[in-house]
Structure 1
Amino acid sequence: MRSLSQALSVLALAAVLTASPAQAAESPRVVASIAPLGSLAAAVMRGVAEPTVLLPAGASPHAYALRPSEARALASADLVLWIGEALETFLEEPLAALARPGAVVELIDTEGLILHPTRTGGIWESDHGHAREAPQGSAHAHDHGSTDAHLWLDPRNAAILVDRIASALAERDPDRAAAYRNNADAAKAELNALDTELAAALSAIGDRPYVVFHDAYQYLEQRYDLFPIGAVTVGPERGPGAQRLSRLRDEIAGRGATCAFREPQFTPKVLESLASDTQIRIGVLDPLGTDTKPGPDGYPRLMRALAASLTGCLAAGD
């Protein structure tokens, strides 16, 4: 059986050999690494074509092994959208081996994004989850290794990504540039309305403290002035130590946290143990929209589901 690296090399050569000028008249083949990006791309491509989402439902971008069919999709793509190596580490080697020159768009580099630094501690101060926006400006000034990559969870960032995707598509498919721009304008109007809707919905939970499984929600928390007190683990691939769990138990009791949130991609027994020790409720937060159908409406459904999960658990009993 060929190794993955051998398979990648063969596919890369095949992509070069089969490319032809006739492909320029076709709608572009777009691959998005994760479902939220696929949804934003679908909104921009409405009426033209549908993007392919690489990461299957239930998988985590923090640890995934590319399948041969997915490698073929990368090799044939005219445009590949990903956040960057800070999130989808599994894509670094395949993109270097397979992607066509100029096809890859690393979205964490997008100008104007609101970016937050990675939080390294498991316990946060009482004002840590409240909105404190990082300076807006060039994303290139940031060290990606120290930047929280879950940037799509702020709708303002989503609107900026929509513009970047539209520009990338217009550059590669100028005949349809007007359609991409018009779709992007419509998508940004919907995202602005969604932002207002989420702010109203999440205002109902005020400063109610909670715990998350891993630190994936800083952009949501900062945007809507939420009050997380800590995470069981900084990254889902790393288990928590006894000292962190002990501190979390103390903080839950001291600050009166009522909910702890797991993720559908993971079933951490440690979170169940923490909940049984402290008698807090268990909810589910899904930053990737695992149960969300692909398409332009996927991103709004993802964000509404997050708001509903937070309010459903934190406001229970009101």
Structure 2
Amino acid sequence: MKADVPRVVADIVPIHSLVSMVMDGLSEPQLLIPQNVSPHDYSMRPSEAKALQEASLVVYLGHDMTPWLEPLFETIAASADALDLSEVKGVLKLPYRDGPIFDDHTDHDEYEEETHADHEEKGHDEYEEETHADHEEESNDASAFEWAGVFSVDDSSHTWLMQKVGGEYADPTMRLVLLPTDSLNEETMHALEEIAETLITGESCTVIEDGESMAPSAEGSCFELHVGNGDDSKFIINTSGLSGLTAYAQHVPTEFERDQHYIKNSVGIDIDPVAQKGVDGHDHHHHGESDPHMWLDPDNAVIWLNVIASRLGRIDPTNADRYTANAKSAIQQIKYTTHKIEDQLASIQGNRFIVYHDAYHYFEKRFGVTAAGSISLGDASKPSPKRLRQLKNLFEDGQINCVLSEPQYSSKLIDSVFAGYKPYIGSVDPVGIDLKLGPALYSELLENIAFDIAQCVNH
């Protein structure tokens, strides 16, 4: 890096690529969140925290994509200039789509008119009866925990940490179920969920105060953590003789992270989960006002490139002309890619498909393709049984025979849910986890998505 070029951090892979375009020939931004993990629930490593601490500029997609990041601009990244791309003027922002089945109508007023008409046609009593039944079924599907994780524990004790963020704790108490295991994988985490639900909703949940210890039994234990009066609360886990733990928490642990990771070994080293998952039914912590997958509309990227160049030029006026020229060149490349994809997808408009999680709304709207529904929510949390039943109904008429998984997530759920219908199961990557980082990644990402969708629906 040249001495006069600012240090820049970008939160996720596609944004890193856009910043790389603007900085091309001068320097490279640092990627905050690794390519192979979900940005929705991520625990930073010390090296990544150090990058934020040293950054002149942090370019990110806002609270709806990484809710854990913004509080850090008041602490470890306080000296950095923060550029929230989701708040840039002129950028298209779409709402999350509700439910597993996507309505073809995108206009909110038209949707409300249709709902009102249905209400009138059915009659008030019948409508309320159905609504109550749906609500009751959703309540039965809801999980008692918001997050689950599997950890390798090769130390005799570990510390679970809860911190105040913005001057207060996310909650003064949190139930935490710990189940010892020797099988450190995602399948084990899912297999033990029923036991975890029983424990976390039961009456035998031991209260653990700040500074106290807890020892999970072989059958699993529930602990109710009570924070103290200080800014940090610590709870010691006795892991002597254990090789692994599955943890199920009432809240996502990163909600309690200010500047420290939520679990550490006895010498203070951060311990990352082998696998982790947010849980459907408690999406209020993840589901923001807007769908954050805005990079999948290239028109948004064009707007961002100019804004990134302008912000960098303000920080580094010596190279302002270079940033502007790079942005102009990148915009031409993206426009070329956009026209290429428009031609490629023109023949499949009207053919619908199922996606793993609701990440493609922007791409669909921009290029005129239509997903019929998603297995998971936009934050990739676990789908409820009711959601899966509704999706199966889409295959009854035989009009849909394409399901797109994602390389970040196991395809076993898709294989088991849709086994009886034998759809073509493809794969699509909305982030670019296997692509080479750099200026070329963004266009390559869009082209790959277009190819994967076309291949799936044409199969």
Please state which band the TM-score falls in when normalised by the shorter chain.
0.7 to 0.9
Q: Which residue of the partner structure matches residue 205 of structure 1?
A: 348
For 1:148, which of 276, 291, 294 is the aligned residue? 291
Q: Which residue of the partner structure matches residue 138 of structure 1?
A: none
Q: Which residue of the partner structure matches residue 283 of structure 1?
A: 426
Unaligned runs of 5+ in 1: 1-22, 133-143
The structure-2 alpha-carbon separation of the partners of 1:236 and 1:84, relative to structure 1 and needing over 3 Å to count, comes to closer
Residue 118 of structure 1 and its aligned partner are, at CA, apart by 1.2
8 Å CA contact 1:77, 1:100 repeated in 2: no
CA distance in structure 1 between the partners assigned to 2:387 and 2:34 by the alignment: 32
1:115 counterpart = 2:104: no
CA distance in structure 2 between the partners assigned to 1:260 and 1:223 by the alignment: 21
Residue 127 of structure 1 and its aligned partner are, at CA, apart by 4.7
Alignment of 1:97-116 (within 5 A): 97-101=75-79, 103-116=81-94
For each residue in 1:164-205, what CA deviation from the matched residue of structure 2 results, as whole angstroms up to 9, or x when unmatched? 111110010011000000111111111111110111111132
Structure 1 vs Structure 2: percent identity of aligned residues? 35
The structure-2 alpha-carbon separation of the partners of 1:76 and 1:212, relative to structure 1 and needing over 3 Å to count, comes to same
Q: Hey, which of these two has a bigger chunk of helix by percent?
A: 1
Moved segments of 4+, more than 2 Å: 92-96, 125-129, 235-238, 252-255
For each residue in 1:86-126, what CA deviation from the matched residue of structure 2 results, as whole angstroms up to 9, or x when unmatched? 00123233333111445111110101101111112111124
CA distance in structure 1 between the partners assigned to 2:75 and 2:380 by the alignment: 26
CA distance in structure 1 between the partners assigned to 2:437 and 2:104 by the alignment: 37
Residue 245 of structure 1 and its aligned partner are, at CA, apart by 1.2
Two-structure CA RMSD over aligned residues (Å): 2.0
8 Å CA contact 1:63, 1:237 repeated in 2: no
Specify the SS of the correspondent of 1:220: helix
1:89 counterpart = 2:67: yes
For 2:10, which of 10, 29, 32 is the aligned residue? 32
8 Å CA contact 1:127, 1:227 repeated in 2: no
The structure-2 alpha-carbon separation of the partners of 1:164 and 1:257, relative to structure 1 and needing over 3 Å to count, comes to same
Specify the SS of the correspondent of 1:311: helix
Q: Hey, which of these two has a bigger chunk of strand by percent?
A: 2
The structure-2 alpha-carbon separation of the partners of 1:70 and 1:120, relative to structure 1 and needing over 3 Å to count, comes to same
1:79 counterpart = 2:222: no
Q: Which amino acid aligns with 1:182?
A: A
Residue 209 of structure 1 and its aligned partner are, at CA, apart by 1.2
Alignment of 1:19-58 (within 5 A): 26-58=4-36
Residue 26 of structure 1 and its aligned partner are, at CA, apart by 1.6
Question: TM (normalized to structure 2)?
Answer: 0.59
Specify the SS of the correspondent of 2:418: helix
Q: Which residue of the partner structure matches residue 270 of structure 1?
A: 413
For 1:229, which of 361, 372, 375 is the aligned residue? 372
Specify the SS of the correspondent of 2:396: helix
Residue 285 of structure 1 and its aligned partner are, at CA, apart by 1.2
For 1:176, which of 316, 319, 322 is the aligned residue? 319
Q: Which amino acid aligns with 2:366?
A: R
For each residue in 1:4-41, what CA deviation from the matched residue of structure 2 results, as whole angstroms up to 9, or x when unmatched? xxxxxxxxxxxxxxxxxxx9962111110011001000
Residue 128 of structure 1 and its aligned partner are, at CA, apart by 5.3
Residue 313 of structure 1 and its aligned partner are, at CA, apart by 1.4
CA distance in structure 1 between the partners assigned to 2:82 and 2:333 by the alignment: 27
For 1:256, which of 389, 396, 399 is the aligned residue? 399
8 Å CA contact 1:211, 1:229 repeated in 2: yes
112-121 or 92-101: bigger deviation: 92-101
CA distance in structure 1 between the partners assigned to 2:447 and 2:358 by the alignment: 19
CA distance in structure 2 between the partners assigned to 1:281 and 1:274 by the alignment: 13
Unaligned runs of 5+ in 2: 111-286
CA distance in structure 2 between the partners assigned to 1:245 and 1:283 by the alignment: 18
CA distance in structure 2 between the partners assigned to 1:272 and 1:62 by the alignment: 24
Residue 227 of structure 1 and its aligned partner are, at CA, apart by 1.7
Specify the SS of the correspondent of 1:260: strand
For 1:163, which of 303, 306, 326 is the aligned residue? 306
CA distance in structure 2 between the partners assigned to 1:156 and 1:286 by the alignment: 19
Residue 216 of structure 1 and its aligned partner are, at CA, apart by 0.4
CA distance in structure 2 between the partners assigned to 1:285 and 1:96 by the alignment: 36
Q: Which residue of the partner structure matches residue 139 of structure 2?
A: none
8 Å CA contact 2:52, 2:80 repeated in 1: no
CA distance in structure 1 between the partners assigned to 2:105 and 2:420 by the alignment: 25
CA distance in structure 1 between the partners assigned to 2:371 and 2:105 by the alignment: 9
For 2:445, which of 302, 308, 314 is the aligned residue? 302
Question: TM (normalized to structure 1)?
Answer: 0.84
For each residue in 1:22-64, what CA deviation from the matched residue of structure 2 results, as whole angstroms up to 9, or x when unmatched? x996211111001100100010011111111111121000111
CA distance in structure 2 between the partners assigned to 1:70 and 1:52 by the alignment: 9
8 Å CA contact 2:39, 2:66 repeated in 1: yes
Number of equivalent positions: 281
